[in-house]
Structures are given as structure tokens and as C-alpha cells.
Structure 1
């Protein structure tokens, strides 16, 4: 049987390519990626007897999106007399025994009954939870057919799992694929994953008025313009720390050693199950108003006794650690174990005041060794309320390293720090830079 279908040239090679296991399609609004994925599925299921699974995060959204799109293309191809589109339960059946079934990740129990699925399409994959994605990988199995997974999405924040999974190597902390290369090349293959990028220009069936509307977004919502018009990942929302930058570890150490009178601070946030024990070493250039972050400890599911062993160097050096005062029992334990630890002051509005304090630094320079700090703070954005208004003391994630910085800076003011006479021997040692940080030094009633 010969089937004729007009398609956009940008997607022609993609439709007939089945050489790879994973197909990751990202693009702007109106680029026609979903339309061509649906076309690809229909052609494949006519060619081979397969069971395909189409997934979205919420089941109730499927009928008016993926299902109706597939039905529309089947009718347009003149196949509706041979292909049955059944609404209850939603499925599409082909004359050769192939079928498409639909599931929502909001009802994960129903996934357990799925067998012999050799092809999965996850529409709007950025909305699906990472745990759900891993569950779907386990459901993709067949005794003889080659397995394929297709994922489609509009680009979202780089904090989303789909960016981290398909573009970042979490173990090596470097790029699997630099997204800028994808925007340039449009199609890239890395190992067993086929990457595809598209924008509204790639859809020859779009009216010019639609593209003009996308262009208008640039004047009133630059984040939405990047997503909808350019089809590019990035930061959604207002950055909390726009002055945050990353430099090679040796460069950070050299810069700290060059400071004539450097202030060293240590801060710790406590966590266990979903939160993290986050301990940071900071150095401050008070003259230039630059904050350096050059060492981190970051772990969860650790009892206090085990953590105490792993950070025992602080007990040996007696460096002062300012910690979360909401955990007085924890602080008491560390003090009994011989750590020089105290609780940082907390008061109504302290989250906002601490955030403003950190923002007053001209630069925040982080060592490339502090991977968790970079991940949390580089693209940290403000949370918004139901009206879309920015919340000044709430964020897109719970940044434990940010809390550690707050506590470390307890008692320090960026804009008006009191003059203290320092012991030159402490500075000359380069605290923590050529070994371990020396003992916290007390003089004239001041502690630093």
C-alpha cells in the first residue's frame, strides 16, 4: 500500500530514520515536531507489527493533544477506513495487529500491566518526572524488535532533568552535547541518541502572522521568547545571583592568595533525607567586595557521627563554623565532639536580609571544584506567586549551599564592615589554600 503525505523538509530525514534507540526533539512553538513524530509512528506501525505507548504527565491532557493529532493525520492520509481510533479506552488499532496505547504518568499503577512495548513517545517530556522517565525505560522491552524511545519538548530550564540527562554527563560533570552545537547543526547524533532541533521557520505551513506573534514576545517576555521563538534551553525567571561566575580552581586560589587582607568564613546547612549537609569555605576580599567559594562538602542521608568523621579536618584546625541555629541539638553534638561551631542568628525576615547581603557583592567567584554549589547557584531564580509576581525570599529550588553562605556571613556586612586589626601570620598562611585552614582567630573581642 502506498501512502502519500506532505511533510516539512526539516523533518523528512527524521521520519524515516530508525537507526537509533533514543530520539530527542526540542524546539520552539509551532515547529511541527509533534506532528511529524505522530506521522513517524503511524508509518512505522503500518510497516511492522508493534505496540507503541504514548505518554504525557497527565492522562486527561492526552485526548486533546496526542490522540487527536494522530487521528487527524490518519484521516488526512485516507487511512480511517482501515485504522480504528477507539476512544474508550483510548487506543488506535492497525490492520496488521499494531496498536497505540495511551497512558498518563499521574496514574503509574496502570503502567504495570503493559507488555511488549517496543516504541514509546513521551510528549512534553520536561513535564514528566525523572522517576517516571526511568520507569518507562524499564517498560520498553520486546523479545525480538528493536527498541525506540522518542521524547519531545519545548525547552525549559537547564535545571530540568531532560537537559541534565541528555546534555550533561553527571558523573564526569561535562557536556554529552553542548546545546549550542545542536542549535547550530540542527541535527546531531551522539552514541545511540538522535538529537533534533526545530523552530517556527522549519514549519512551512505556518502563517507569517503566527511568526510575527512569536517575535513580539521579545518586547515583553524575553524568557518566553527564548523558549517559544528560539527553542533554546536557559534560565526561566530572574536570576538571584547574576554576578555569580565559575573559574578554574587554581585561578580562584591565586586570586585569594593575592588579597592583602582576606577574611575566611565557613558556613554549614544541615540536612538528611531530601536535604543536604552543605559545608562551604569562603574567602572575602572586603576592599573589592568579592566573595570567593573555594571548597565544599555536600552529602545527605548521613548521620551526624558519620559526617563528623568526614569533616574531621575542621576539628583539627578549629576553624569556626557558623551553622543553622534551627538545629541546636546538632550544633551541641558537634561542639561536644570538639568542633568550633556556633549557631548563626535567625530572625523574622532574615532570609530576605541574607539574600540581599549576598547580592551586594560585586562578584561571586566559585571554584570549578565546587560542583554542587555551581549546580545550585549558577542558574538559581526567584520563585513566583500565583499572580506571577516575584517572591524575594523564595527560589526555584531549595539551595542548601546558599543557606550555608548565609550562615557563613553571619555578623559580616558587605557594605559597612568594621575595621579590625588582623594577625598577618594568619593571612600569610593562606588559610586552607596550601593545606588546611588555621585556627579561627580571636582578638579584641571580635571573632573572624
Structure 2
């Protein structure tokens, strides 16, 4: 019966709707691209063809009724198959005349997701809002014994710090590379292993009003961040960059530039981690005349004891390292182990003040030999309050390498680029 259904689809989604050769289907796109509409088409069409049980998930259950549930009703009517489907609100589900069913769950109530008994297809709508732990839970429980298993994920692009980007594209910190998102934007559909990738924008939706497209185009002037997400459908940085002057250069180029500095200032800092956070130590050179900070070496680890870290960093013993003054016992241990370690200066408001200090460098040059520093600082953005105002000492992540920079530079001041002549307190 499903093969005889005749209804309108956007051209860019034809292949996607009928493709069931892969386990994962990752759809990312801008506003109004019709990706969710075509996921609904794909789901209904499959469940009309085969008796299956599908699960539709969002992070918050209360958002499902006005989104996925209503959309499925709309699509069923557009397809002309609403006579074969029964929509019930308590419990919220869709029953098909052939015995297929669609059920709905929210990840905010994980106890209700204990069992995916009989489920062979999961649609995770706005997957970037779902926590990674929830995705892993679904991944571990989806195992129908006789039918093929599929997970469809749809989302607007978000920050590259989101788990979706790190899992399906690349995670620099873990050195995981799956797909360059630029390749997806260019080719529009890409298959890597068992994942079908699909990119779309409002240009792929023939049925959207012209006025809506014009509204999205206007964002380029008024809100560039939202323009990238809503109009272009691209991952990137959401919010205000903390260090827009941060650049990455090859290690040999950084070494060459450092050697050319007339009076280089050596600065080294360390942030102590714990079981769930990271130990981060950086070696840096300041070019005070040119107002450039060079980061040329890093140490980064987690879940290691002080003796293990001391062994890892034994060739750092001949340099002065400023470390977190909140850890006097750790500093004492490293000093007893032969390190020239000193406690930094911290005080109320120092996080914001030290961040402003680092921002005053004309350029922050990081060696490509420091991947964790790059991962934390290249796309670091400020956190915002409920009024979307920047919080000057809070960020989208906990940047351990920035803490190491704070400590290293606690006795150094960058000249104010607005015209001040602040003196240098640091010495090599």
C-alpha cells in the first residue's frame, strides 16, 4: 500500500526517505529546511510497509506533543494515509492498521527509558539538546533480534563543543576524526561507515514562503552567529569568542618566531586536576614588544597521581612553574620532588581580570603540538546570563589550559593597547 502513495517531497530528500541501508541517519540543517518533515515521512512510510515499533525521543517530554506528535499528524494527512493511523494522547502514541506503533519518550525522565523492548527504529529530534549519556543509553538498548536497527538524529547545527559534533564529526581532544563537516556542506549527502549524513538549508525547501527566506537572510547583518546556524546550517562557535586573536601555527614556525624575539619572557603555568578534570601545564614565551603570547608546549592528563605526573614532567624541573595556590600540598610535593614550582596569586575577581589581561595580547600563537590547548581555547566562548549578557569569568567549558595561562601570567601585565604604558613586572 505504501508504494502507491503519491505526495510531494523536496528533491534533496528523495533518496533519504527510502534509504534504510545504514544504522545511523544524521540530518543537520538550517531553519525551515524541512528535515524533520521528511524524517516523519520516512518513519510513516517504513511503518506502513513493515510491522515495526518506533520510538520518538526529545530531551524534554513536554515538548513532544507540539513538535513531533503534531508533525506526524500533519504528515500523515499530507500523505493521505491518516485513515490507516490512529493518534491517541493518553498514552501518547500512534497505532497503524498493520500493527506498527510509534511511542514517545522524554530523556528528562530516564526511568521511562529502561526498556526499548520491541523497538527497532529511534528518532532523536533536536539531538543536540539530548545529553550524551541519553544517546549512549539508547545505543546500548536498541537491539531488535530479527529486524534491522536504525537511529535517526535530526538537529540544527550547534557549537562544535556539542557531543553530536564530536561523535559524528571530530573530537580534537580525543583525536577522533570521522568526517570533515566542510565536506558535508559541499557534497550535501555523505556516507561514512554505517552512518548516512544529510545536510540541508531553507533553499532545499520548495514550499517555504519567500518572506521567511528573506527574514533568514536579514540575520547576516543583525546576528551573524544565528545566520550561520539558521540560514547556512553550519556548525561553528555559538556566542562571543573569548580570544578571537587565537591562531594555530606549525610547531617549527612557532619555534622560528620565538627565536627571533629580541627579549623573550618565559612563562609557565599549571592547573591541577582531579579524577574528573584535567591536569594542564603550559610552556609559553611572551614577546612584550609585539604584544604576542606564544604557547609552544603542553602537558595534559587526567586521573593520574602526583608521582605519575612528576615522572611525566621530569624534564620541566629546570623551569619556574606558577601553579594554583589553592593546592598548597600539591605544590609542596612537586617542590620536594625537585620542581621549581611557586604558588600563583589569586583573589576575588582575579578570573575576570586575568582573562582581560590575556585578551590584551594582539595575538596568541599556539603551536600545533598543543592539541588540547587548541581544543579548549580556539572556540572558547563566554557564558551568558538570563538576559544574554556576557559573564566575564564564566565560559562554555571549563578551560584548564586557560587557568594555566592565568597562573603563569599573574605577575606580568600586557600594555594596554588603547594607549596605556603598563610596565612589565615579569622577568625571565
Q: Which TM-score bucket, shorter chain as reference?
A: over 0.9
Structure 2 CA distance, aligned partners of 1:181 and 1:272?
Answer: 38
Which deviates further from its counterpart, 162-171 or 186-195?
Answer: 162-171
The match for 2:216 is 214
Structure 2 CA distance, aligned partners of 1:252 and 1:232?
Answer: 31
Structure 1 CA distance, aligned partners of 2:309 and 2:235?
Answer: 37
Contact between 1:199 and 1:231, CA under 8 Å: does it hold in 2? yes
The match for 2:370 is 370
Structure 1 CA distance, aligned partners of 2:174 and 2:389?
Answer: 37
Contact between 1:198 and 1:231, CA under 8 Å: does it hold in 2? yes
- Match of 2:198, SS state, is strand
Which deviates further from its counterpart, 329-338 or 374-383?
Answer: 329-338
* Gap change, CA 1:116 and 1:172, over 3 Å in 2: same
Decide which of 72, 75, 81 is 2:74's aligned counterpart: 72
Displacement after TM superposition at 1:344 (Å): 0.9
List per-residue Cα deviations over 1:256-277 (Å, max 9, x = no partner): 2232332211101112033221
The match for 1:384 is 384
The match for 2:357 is 357
Structure 1 CA distance, aligned partners of 2:40 and 2:378?
Answer: 37
The match for 1:398 is 398
- Match of 1:18, SS state, is coil
List per-residue Cα deviations over 1:285-304 (Å, max 9, x = no partner): 22222111111111222232
Contact between 1:55 and 1:102, CA under 8 Å: does it hold in 2? yes
The match for 2:294 is 292
TM-score (structure 2 length as normaliser): 0.94
Structure 2 CA distance, aligned partners of 1:5 and 1:171?
Answer: 46
- 1:276 lines up with 2:265 in the alignment: no
Decide which of 125, 150, 153 is 2:152's aligned counterpart: 150
- Match of 2:21, SS state, is coil
Displacement after TM superposition at 1:348 (Å): 2.2
Which deviates further from its counterpart, 300-309 or 16-25?
Answer: 300-309
* Gap change, CA 1:311 and 1:417, over 3 Å in 2: farther
Decide which of 316, 319, 322 is 1:314's aligned counterpart: 316
Structure 2 CA distance, aligned partners of 1:181 and 1:328?
Answer: 49
The match for 1:55 is 57
Displacement after TM superposition at 1:383 (Å): 1.0
The match for 1:431 is none
Contact between 1:117 and 1:139, CA under 8 Å: does it hold in 2? no
Query: RMSD of the TM alignment (CA)?
Result: 1.8
Mapping for residues 157-196 of structure 1, pairs under 5 Å? 157-168=159-170, 173=175, 175-196=177-198
Displacement after TM superposition at 1:155 (Å): 0.6
Structure 1 runs (4+) deviating above 4 angstroms are 169-172, 416-420
Structure 2 CA distance, aligned partners of 1:148 and 1:369?
Answer: 39
List per-residue Cα deviations over 1:111-157 (Å, max 9, x = no partner): 11221322111100110111111111112211122221111000111
- Match of 1:393, SS state, is strand
Structure 2 CA distance, aligned partners of 1:218 and 1:352?
Answer: 30
The match for 2:228 is 226
Structure 2 CA distance, aligned partners of 1:283 and 1:419?
Answer: 14
- Match of 1:118, SS state, is strand
How many pairs align? 421
The match for 1:330 is 330
- Unaligned stretches of 5+ residues in structure 1: 421-445
Contact between 1:278 and 1:297, CA under 8 Å: does it hold in 2? yes
Displacement after TM superposition at 1:410 (Å): 1.8
List per-residue Cα deviations over 1:301-350 (Å, max 9, x = no partner): 223233222222223x2x11101112222222222233211111112221
Displacement after TM superposition at 1:170 (Å): 5.0
Contact between 1:354 and 1:406, CA under 8 Å: does it hold in 2? yes
The match for 1:344 is 344
Displacement after TM superposition at 1:447 (Å): 5.2
- Match of 1:100, SS state, is strand
Displacement after TM superposition at 1:52 (Å): 1.1
List per-residue Cα deviations over 1:382-435 (Å, max 9, x = no partner): 111110111222211111100100111121112157579xxxxxxxxxxxxxxx
Structure 2 CA distance, aligned partners of 1:257 and 1:447?
Answer: 17
- 1:116 lines up with 2:108 in the alignment: no
Structure 1 CA distance, aligned partners of 2:309 and 2:341?
Answer: 14
Structure 2 CA distance, aligned partners of 1:376 and 1:204?
Answer: 40
Structure 1 CA distance, aligned partners of 2:7 and 2:173?
Answer: 43
- Match of 1:133, SS state, is helix
- Match of 1:113, SS state, is coil
Structure 2 CA distance, aligned partners of 1:64 and 1:112?
Answer: 24
- 1:205 lines up with 2:207 in the alignment: yes
- Match of 1:230, SS state, is coil
